Amino acid sequence: DSAAKGNSTARVIAPYTVYKGKAAFSVTPLLPTFSKIDSGNLKLDRRGAMMLTFWPAVGERKYDWEKRQRFALSPTEVGSLISMGAHDVSEFFHDPSMLSSNAGQVSKKLYIKALDGGNGYMISLTVSNNLLKSNERFNVPITTAEFAVLKTACSFALPHIIGWDWLTNRSHKGIEGS
Amino acid sequence: DSAAKGNSTARVIAPYTVYKGKAAFSVTPLLPTFSKIDSGNLKLDRRGAMMLTFWPAVGERKYDWEKRQRFALSPTEVGSLISMGAHDVSEFFHDPSMLSSNAGQVSKKLYIKALDGGNGYMISLTVSNNLLKSNERFNVPITTAEFAVLKTACSFALPHIIGWDWLTNRSHKGIEGS
Amino acid sequence: DSAAKGNSTARVIAPYTVYKGKAAFSVTPLLPTFSKIDSGNLKLDRRGAMMLTFWPAVGERKYDWEKRQRFALSPTEVGSLISMGAHDVSEFFHDPSMLSSNAGQVSKKLYIKALDGGNGYMISLTVSNNLLKSNERFNVPITTAEFAVLKTACSFALPHIIGWDWLTNRSHKGIEGS
Amino acid sequence: DSAAKGNSTARVIAPYTVYKGKAAFSVTPLLPTFSKIDSGNLKLDRRGAMMLTFWPAVGERKYDWEKRQRFALSPTEVGSLISMGAHDVSEFFHDPSMLSSNAGQVSKKLYIKALDGGNGYMISLTVSNNLLKSNERFNVPITTAEFAVLKTACSFALPHIIGWDWLTNRSHKGIEGS
């Protein structure tokens, strides 16, 4: 069980997944990367994210993982999600090729909207590809209970994806005279 | 004190327990299981739960542990519990033999209802056994303070029962060049 | 810095302390104790608490630690504190000699009351000793900001004082086949 | 990757940073220091803080780190920040040379004010130097989402900066007979 000793390279695969009529939806934290700098310290290289994955239903209780689409929520977008009230809307736009020569070819929109009556949310991902002339859309209705899990799990993960978990994985460096 | 070193097999038994006039009630986290997959990574095998246990009073300050009944709250049911407002109701139905040939023989209902006046909740477990023609019911009134402990403890445990505690038990895998 | 390695016996002394005109007030977690049972597992022996300490001012910025009085908040009393709204009152009575032949000699009352105007709380400890005919009282006004620290710190500590921190200090016991 | 083993001296540099039109703003936890006392125990020496850093924009997407100014939020000031409602104001005054012969030369004011409409906050730092007759001011508008990250990250860090993280970095000291 080397995974438990903290110096293993084994990854743990444990997304929180919700299966609904037309699509499934999962969320899992994506950790930041660090690089060693001259001082020997570690500097945040790339922020982490909450990776959302959607894949379509292709029959009763059957889903096609090959047709999945992803959306990586940045820390600030996670802040938006966890502060949503019972009547709020959040909308995020991503261009996976932003700042490259392919910018604008593919655009992704994530839309989270409280359902009328206040008993849940609709989470929608739309992926438009100008080159392929394709437009995919995933709709996953989320209950209040599922959204509470999402909020709690994202709040728990947030300090980790911004790189602050060194706070819980360290020795007493502040001891004078040691 | 091998338990502290993280590679022991000793379990810690520390439920949060509430003793009331007609029954006692305890809650403890049940962790998920993982299996090693070909890549050497660990994949969530079975989600964890919050295990609720009820057992009846059989005299003054005397309770009969042999007559206990259990109810395992799934992560989403935990999300329902921790998002309950001061006037809400939650109701969960379980069939311990679901999808087996014994399906329908035993049914369990957990019912959580805010008390009038807003100063607490009634938690009730009903276990009906069609074969034995039995029907057991446990009623445990919970104060607002006890419910706050329940909420805080369940919110703390939720990331663990969905298998996300690798976030706090790991090395800096994201270091480039190491 | 053996303290960091988790198998040291060094304790960390770091109460959260508030100094006010007539008295000082500090809070620190008191961990539960466990005993090994026949199976080799660890069973909760005695629940932890949040230990509140009050000591009087005896001059300008001078406080007399020798005259301190303590009050140990149980997990459920902590639940009461962390669920207090901006207009609530909490009151707790303790008898340090409860169930002994000295029961009733000393009684302690902790009283927490939202201040008019909603900008803080008064925390009062009264210790009455029937034998010594003494009656000590400590009043510490707490700002909303200080109460927020108290709530956040107590919510953080609660899973630890009920003995659930094995959730964060463990190996992947659920791995099948290992 | 010795950093992961808990006895390294490598520091992790991972502030949460927000870049806006006129200035950038970052926040990172500053841990407390401890000293060994005669008993071999560790006593909190100096409380930690949340270190806020502001530095000005000097062109489009260009910022001048050399002109940074800092403001260290105490635990109680963090309590004030995390309990701010959607219409609240917080104001903190610091004198970096307080209690020294230079007291009063430099004064710093941090001002956090909810924006009209409830969709965010303005965070302003003013640094006045009587000797240099200088007065610098940094204004950083923060969205509701960014403030949610700030609140969540500060709530996560608070137990650490008051020195309570020994709760999560310890062995089972409470085991009787071991």
**Cα(A150)–Cα(C134) distance, integer angstroms:** 54
Query: pLDDT at position A106, please?
Result: 93
Q: Give the end-to-end CA distance of chain C in Å, rounded to a whole number.
A: 33
Q: A156: helix, coil or strand?
A: helix
Least confident of A95-99, B41-45, C35-39: A95-99
| A157/D contact by beta carbon, under 8 A | no
Residue B8 belongs to a domain = no
State the nearest Cα–Cα gap between C170 and chain A, in angstroms. Answer: 8
Residue C37 belongs to a domain = yes
Q: In this structure, what token pair is assigned to residue B166? A: 């690798």
Q: Which residue of C has its CA nearest to D80?
A: C145
Q: Which residue of B has its CA nearest to A34?
A: B175
Residue B2 belongs to a domain = no
Q: B97: helix, coil or strand?
A: coil
Please give the DSSP secondary-structure letter assigned to residue A115: P
Tokens 């047709």 locate to A67
What H or E segment, with its residue span, contains residue B106?
A: strand B106-114
| A41/D contact by beta carbon, under 8 A | yes
Query: pLDDT at position A91, please?
Result: 96
Using alpha carbons, select from B123, B91, B96, B122 the residue that is nearest to residue B109.
B91
Residues in chain B within 8 Å Cβ distance of D175: 1, 3
Read off the pLDDT band of A24 (50, 70, 90).
Answer: very high
Interface of D with C in 70-89 (CB under 8 A): 75-80, 82-83
Residue C153 belongs to a domain = yes
| Residue D76: C-alpha distances to residues C86, D80, D88 (Å) | 18, 6, 16
| Residue D11: C-alpha distances to residues A174, D156, D168 (Å) | 12, 19, 19
| Residue B155: C-alpha distances to residues A156, B48, B82, C5, C46 (Å) | 9, 14, 7, 28, 23
Measured CA angle at B88 (ends B86, B89), to 5 deg: 140
| A155/D contact by beta carbon, under 8 A | yes
B166: left (phi over 0), alpha (psi -120 to 50) or beta: alpha
**Cα(D111)–Cα(D103) distance, integer angstroms:** 21
Residues in chain A within 8 Å Cβ distance of B76: 143, 145-146, 149
Q: Provide the residue-wise pLDDT of chain D in tens; the chain has 178 residues.
A: 333 333 345 788 899 999 999 999 999 999 999 999 988 889 999 999 999 999 999 998 899 999 999 999 999 999 999 999 888 899 999 998 888 888 889 999 999 999 988 789 999 999 999 999 999 999 999 999 999 999 999 999 999 999 998 887 654 444 544 3
Using alpha carbons, select from C92, C82, C84, C90 the residue that is nearest to residue C155.
C82
Tell me, rounded to whole angstroms, the distance of Cα C34 from its chain centroid. Answer: 19
Residues C57-93 as b/e (b if ≥16 CB within 10 A, e otherwise) read beeeeebeeeeebbbbbbbbbbbbbbbbeeeeebebe
Do D169 and C4 meet the contact criterion of CB atoms below 8 Å apart?
yes
Do B94 and B71 meet the contact criterion of CB atoms below 8 Å apart?
yes
Residue A172 has pLDDT above 50, yes or no: no
Look up the domain containing B66 and give its range. Answer: 14-164
Residues in chain B within 8 Å Cβ distance of C155: 152
Residues in chain D within 8 Å Cβ distance of C152: 79, 82, 155, 158-159
Query: pLDDT at position B9, please?
Result: 59
| A146/B contact by beta carbon, under 8 A | yes
Tell me, rounded to whole angstroms, the distance of Cα A66 from its chain centroid. Answer: 19
Query: pLDDT at position D176, please?
Result: 47
- The CATH number that applies at residue B82 is 2.30.31.10
**Cα(D30)–Cα(D49) distance, integer angstroms:** 5
| D42/C contact by beta carbon, under 8 A | yes
**Cα(A34)–Cα(A45) distance, integer angstroms:** 5
Residue A2 has pLDDT above 50, yes or no: no
Residue B107 has pLDDT above 50, yes or no: yes
Nearest Cβ partner for C178 among A1, A171, A175 = A1
**Cα(C149)–Cα(D76) distance, integer angstroms:** 6
Using alpha carbons, select from A140, A25, A152 the residue that is nearest to residue B83.
A152
Residues in chain C within 8 Å Cβ distance of D166: 3, 12, 14
**Yes or no, beta carbons of A156 and B167 under 8 Å apart:** yes
Residues in chain A within 8 Å Cβ distance of C178: 1
| A174/D contact by beta carbon, under 8 A | yes
Q: Provide the residue-wise pLDDT of chain C in tens; the chain has 178 residues.
A: 333 333 345 788 899 999 999 999 999 999 999 999 988 889 999 999 999 999 999 998 899 999 999 999 999 999 999 999 888 899 999 998 887 888 889 999 999 999 988 789 999 999 999 999 999 999 999 999 999 999 999 999 999 999 998 887 654 444 544 3
Residue C111 belongs to a domain = yes
Query: pLDDT at position D12, please?
Result: 87
What H or E segment, with its residue span, contains residue B161?
A: helix B144-161
Please give the DSSP secondary-structure letter assigned to residue B157: H
**% of chain B residues with pLDDT over 70:** 89
Q: In chain D, how many domains are there?
A: 1
Residue B24 belongs to a domain = yes
Residue C10 belongs to a domain = no
Residue A129 belongs to a domain = yes
Please give the DSSP secondary-structure letter assigned to residue D131: T
CB neighbour list of residue D78: distance below 8 Å, 6 or more residues apart? C149, D50, D154, D157, D158, D161
ipTM of the assembly?
0.90
